[in-house]
């Protein structure tokens, strides 16, 4: 590599053709296939179809006085034919043959088809646009090493078509969601990423300091409390797509920096938004993948049927020993016994609802493969949710599970400032004890003040974009769907 750099420093002229900086691409490889692929070879010969294409050289085959190489651009690949009959022999022998895989090349030539019918550009002028100091492996069938894929994403994208497709689909999913929400009458908004107090979820934040204001700030763990302030202010249908940050563990479904879409609609409840979410998932699968079902791992996920609905306690009973009953789940001693028998870690101060939720997370979640709405979560683990009118111990809340993990979380929003104050204080006391943190950290007085102006009956939902992309691209790790995931230092 050092020799190559020295060579490039001393070379003042362009590698193949003078004035290569004036090279202008006029076609992508995809354009050539759309324009010429259906034409017969004889028809192509009659046409004056000269084109200029450019991209990265990812393969090269030399046959004496003629060669073939493949250019890869943002839309795909195109084969190029180079012959000493059409470019100067000196350029072909002494310069082109020394070209490395990975070099960025510009080509001007005529489109034709080979004897095997492959669309090809017959090179008449060739330009080295950028030299690659690091030679790309000739094994361009895909980079297999996951560690290299995640740490060296640019190399992964050069070599792996599947990785490229994953991020193209990710972009389409986010664009589709924006269009869908706009068509449904929602307005896109932006709320602060740096916040003086973190809330809207139970998670440990990243902390920073604003020097000019002389105050501590937190990267948001959720935008919820700010979005509901906007609903109070009169924006009754809103959504936000953005980054959230949680200073917690890393796993195949958790990254400290992740993307979510949260949306809120006034004068709706959680049941209305369950129907909305089900319709959204039916349409996004059909629109982005052109199918009604998808393969995920070893399972086929069917989005053509109505989603299954089950309460949290029902789902627990369906997945534990039949010696336990619904009454056992509502008895603290019994539910402790169930938790311990399944290796669930519980604490003395945990309530019945908190223990139920821990059992659900450990035993049930991974088994919810087909799209399933889980409802009636304990109010103890739903501090921002409205209480159920039928049972005040549970919340008007749902979570959507697909492929064994949570993909969306929604509920009817608690709009009673007195009840919300009580729950904030209760959460503050618990978290203060468990995490040795000042209780005031969890009590958002400004949000309570906003609630006192009156939040209309409202429901809201958060959808994990990264996990959604995992589902629709059949990826088992969140690192595969984030360009630059969080990784340990080498």
Instruction: Report the distance separating Cα 470 and Cα 462, nearest Å.
Output: 16
Helical residues (DSSP H) of 41-152, grouped into ranges: 41-46, 89-90, 146-151
Contacts of 208 (CB under 8 A, 6+ apart): 194, 216, 217, 218, 219
| Burial environment of residue 6 by CB neighbours within 10 A (0 to 12, 13 to 18, 19 or more) | exposed
Please say whether the beta carbons of 162 and 143 come within 8 A.
no
Instruction: Report the distance separating Cα 143 and Cα 140, nearest Å.
Output: 7
Instruction: Report the distance separating Cα 279 and Cα 287, nearest Å.
Output: 12
Please say whether the beta carbons of 260 and 232 come within 8 A.
no
Please say whether the beta carbons of 122 and 109 come within 8 A.
yes
List phi, psi (to 5°) of 373.
-90, 125
Give the chain's largest Cα–Cα span.
88
Q: On the CB side of 322, how many CA atoms lie within 13 Å of its CA?
A: 0
Q: On the CB side of 301, how many CA atoms lie within 13 Å of its CA?
A: 25
Is the C-alpha dihedral spanning 201, 206, 207, 211 positive or negative?
negative
For residue 167, give the H/E element and its range.
Answer: helix 161-183
Contacts of 435 (CB under 8 A, 6+ apart): 204
The separation between CA 414 and the C-alpha centre of its own chain, rounded to angstroms, equals 29
Instruction: Report the distance separating Cα 239 and Cα 304, nearest Å.
Output: 26
| Burial environment of residue 460 by CB neighbours within 10 A (0 to 12, 13 to 18, 19 or more) | buried
The separation between CA 395 and the C-alpha centre of its own chain, rounded to angstroms, equals 29
In this structure, are strands 119-130 and 76-83 parallel, antiparallel, or unpaired?
parallel
Contacts of 44 (CB under 8 A, 6+ apart): 36, 111, 112, 113
399 is annotated as contributing to ligand binding? yes
216 is annotated as contributing to ligand binding? no
Query: CA nearest 240: which of 465, 486, 442, 467?
Result: 465
Q: Which residues fall in the annotated binding site for Mg(2+)?
A: 399, 406
Q: Which residues fall in the annotated binding site?
A: 399, 406
């Amino acid at each position: 590599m050092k020799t190559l750099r020295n060579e490039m420093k001393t070379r003042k002229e362009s590698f193949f053709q003078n004035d290569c900086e004036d090279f202008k691409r006029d076609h992508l490889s995809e354009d050539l296939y759309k324009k010429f692929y259906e034409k017969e070879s004889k028809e192509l010969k009659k046409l004056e179809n000269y084109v200029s294409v450019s991209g990265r050289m990812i393969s090269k085959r030399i046959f004496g006085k003629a060669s073939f190489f493949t250019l890869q651009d943002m839309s795909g690949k195109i084969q190029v034919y180079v012959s000493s009959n059409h470019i100067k022999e000196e350029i072909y022998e002494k310069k082109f043959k020394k070209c490395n895989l990975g070099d960025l090349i510009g080509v001007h030539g005529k489109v034709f088809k080979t004897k095997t019918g492959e669309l090809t550009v017959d090179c008449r002028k060739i330009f080295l646009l950028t030299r690659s100091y690091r030679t790309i492996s000739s094994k361009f069938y895909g980079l297999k090493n996951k560690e290299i894929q995640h740490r060296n994403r640019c190399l992964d994208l050069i070599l792996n078509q599947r990785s490229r497709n994953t991020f193209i689909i990710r972009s389409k999913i986010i664009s589709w969601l924006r269009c869908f929400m706009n068509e449904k009458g929602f307005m896109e908004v932006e709320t602060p990423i740096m916040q003086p107090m973190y809330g809207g979820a139970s998670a440990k934040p990243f902390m920073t300091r604003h020097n000019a204001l002389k105050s501590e700030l937190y990267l948001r763990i959720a935008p919820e409390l700010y979005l509901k302030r906007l609903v109070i202010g009169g924006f009754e249908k809103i959504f936000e797509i953005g980054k959230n940050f949680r200073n917690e563990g890393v796993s195949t479904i958790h990254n400290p920096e992740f993307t979510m879409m949260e949306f809120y609609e006034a004068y709706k409840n959680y049941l209305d938004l369950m129907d909305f979410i089900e319709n959204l998932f039916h349409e996004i699968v059909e629109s982005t993948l052109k199918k009604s079902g998808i393969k995920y791992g070893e399972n086929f996920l069917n989005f053509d049927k109505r989603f299954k609905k089950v309460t949290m306690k029902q789902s627990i009973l369906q997945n534990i020993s039949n010696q336990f009953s619904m009454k056992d789940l509502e008895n603290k001693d019994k539910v402790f016994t169930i938790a311990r028998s399944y290796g669930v870690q519980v604490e003395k101060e945990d309530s019945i609802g908190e223990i139920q939720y821990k059992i659900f997370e450990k035993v049930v979640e991974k088994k919810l493969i087909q799209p399933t709405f889980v409802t009636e979560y304990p109010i103890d683990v739903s501090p921002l949710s409205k209480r159920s009118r039928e049972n005040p111990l549970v919340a008007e809340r749902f979570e959507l599970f697909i492929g064994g993990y949570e993909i969306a979380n929604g509920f009817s929003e608690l709009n009673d400032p007195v009840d919300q104050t009580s729950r904030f204080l209760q959460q503050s006391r618990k978290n203060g004890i468990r995490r040795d943190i000042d209780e005031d950290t969890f009590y958002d007085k400004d949000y309570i003040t906003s609630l006192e102006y009156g939040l209309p009956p409202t429901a809201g939902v958060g959808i994990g974009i990264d996990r959604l992309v995992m589902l629709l691209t059949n990826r088992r790790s969140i690192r595969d769907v984030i360009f630059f995931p969080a990784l340990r230092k080498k």
